[in-house]
Amino acid sequence: MEPSKYDRIAYFLAERGEPAYRTRQVYDAVFRGGHGEFADMHPLPQGMRADLATEFGPGILSLKPVTASISQQVNKTLFETADGERVEAVLMRFEAGWTSLCVSTQVGCGLGCTFCATGAVGLRRNLTADEISDQVLAFQLGGETIDSVSFMGMGEALANRASFGAFELLTRDDLFNLGARRLSVSTVGIIPGMKRLTAEFPQINLTFSLHSPFPEQRQELIPVSRRYPLADCLEVLDNHVDVTGRKVYLAYLVMAGVNDSEEHVTGLVDLVKERAHWETRFHVNLVRFNPLGIESPIAYESADESVMRRILARLDGAGVHATIRRSFGVDIDAACGQLYAKYQAHAGRAMRPVSSGR
């Protein structure tokens, strides 16, 4: 993986024979002083500021905000990368005063989940660790305090190795200094990435997108689960719980007439109760499918509120911890893809034809 710009700045200054405190001054100017432009980093000598700007460009950010849609609770910002790609991040402000930022990890996604518009676009490219963490930095430089970061925007975070570079940058105490417990990752079940998360970042919150308790149906909804079968994913989750002692979240996107039957809820309860630590370590997040009026590969429909409440009551009755997630009209936990769907609508680009059989 290519070194982050923070490491490149350290190498650049070290090569010039500068003492290590100069690098710390740059980091402090960005993260404690809120300066995004090298010219404003006044503790540094003028010549050094100019040299940094020549080498790295005038500012520290590799992304440029292009549009923002802001309400009292939500700030959705579309960023442009240096090569003209676009990704979106969403800041949510909770009533208790907590702010959470949902970041993207890929431009598009290659996994083709049938409920997801991003999947229909295909993978345009992975974001770098700098581009992922810059979504956080851009909001911070804009004066926002970010309390937590979820890797649930565009793309499958664990299909991009650079996500691990971003975890490292965000948790480094000389940079973003966010505790790992303030980070959350959602995955459809990329087993090598899940195992790496357990080993390297055991404190990061993990959400597994389940969406069906039945392996065959899940393979229809999430084609990559043919490669990483449900039973294997559950084994990895059980191990994650054993090793980390942390709770795992199971996201269940409720789609009318698809996965909201009594049989499905019974299957979901059984699946959870088969886990060794199900009472304390598994939590189901029910998410209402949000079609957003944009063509997803298959035209699913939202479940009624009464159906959501019925499923919640059944889980409660069985002793399974569960919550209906509400995200200010943006079903962030639902998926990834829906942010990019918005981008497609704005940009007016044609979507790639969807292959059949999914």
With respect to ligand SF4, which residue has the nearer C-beta, 306 or 356?
356
**Residue numbers at the binding site for ligand SF4 (CB under 6 A):** 109, 111-113, 116, 118-119, 155-156, 188, 335-337
With respect to ligand SF4, which residue has the nearer C-beta, 62 or 187?
187
With respect to ligand SF4, which residue has the nearer C-beta, 101 or 320?
101
First to last CA, the chain: 33
273 C-beta neighbours (distance < 10 Å), count: 13
304 C-beta neighbours (distance < 10 Å), count: 13
Go through the chain and tell me how many residues it has: 358
How far, CA to CA in Å, does 8 sit from each of 23, 168, 197? 10, 15, 25
With respect to ligand SF4, which residue has the nearer C-beta, 276 or 347?
347
**Residue 138 phi, psi dihedral angles, 5° rounding:** -60, -40
Question: Token pair for residue 83?
Answer: 């090569």
Task: Quote the least distance from Cβ 155 to ligand SF4, whole Å.
Answer: 5
With respect to ligand SF4, which residue has the nearer C-beta, 17 or 293?
293
DSSP codes of every residue in 286-330: EEE---TTS--SS---BPPHHHHHHHHHHHHHTT--EEE---TT-
Bridge partners of 122? 109
Contact yes or no for 43/60 (Cβ under 8 A): no
Burial of 350 from C-beta contacts in 10 A (0-12 / 13-18 / 19+): exposed
Task: Quote the least distance from Cβ 240 to ligand SF4, whole Å.
Answer: 19
Task: Quote the least distance from Cβ 281 to ligand SF4, whole Å.
Answer: 24
Output the residue with the shortest Cβ distance to ligand SF4: 119
12 C-beta neighbours (distance < 10 Å), count: 17
* Residues classed as catalytic: 88, 336
Task: Quote the least distance from Cβ 116 to ligand SF4, whole Å.
Answer: 3
Task: Quote the least distance from Cβ 209 to ligand SF4, whole Å.
Answer: 7
With respect to ligand SF4, which residue has the nearer C-beta, 26 or 354?
354
> Which residue is it, tokens 């060794």?
276
**Residue 264 phi, psi dihedral angles, 5° rounding:** -65, -45
Cα–Cα dist 274/179, whole Å = 32
| Beta carbons within 8 Å of 173's beta carbon, 6+ residues apart | none
Task: Quote the least distance from Cβ 190 to ligand SF4, whole Å.
Answer: 8
Cα–Cα dist 31/33, whole Å = 6
Contact yes or no for 193/159 (Cβ under 8 A): yes
Cα–Cα dist 254/262, whole Å = 13
Task: Quote the least distance from Cβ 113 to ligand SF4, whole Å.
Answer: 3
With respect to ligand SF4, which residue has the nearer C-beta, 116 or 354?
116
Burial of 142 from C-beta contacts in 10 A (0-12 / 13-18 / 19+): middle
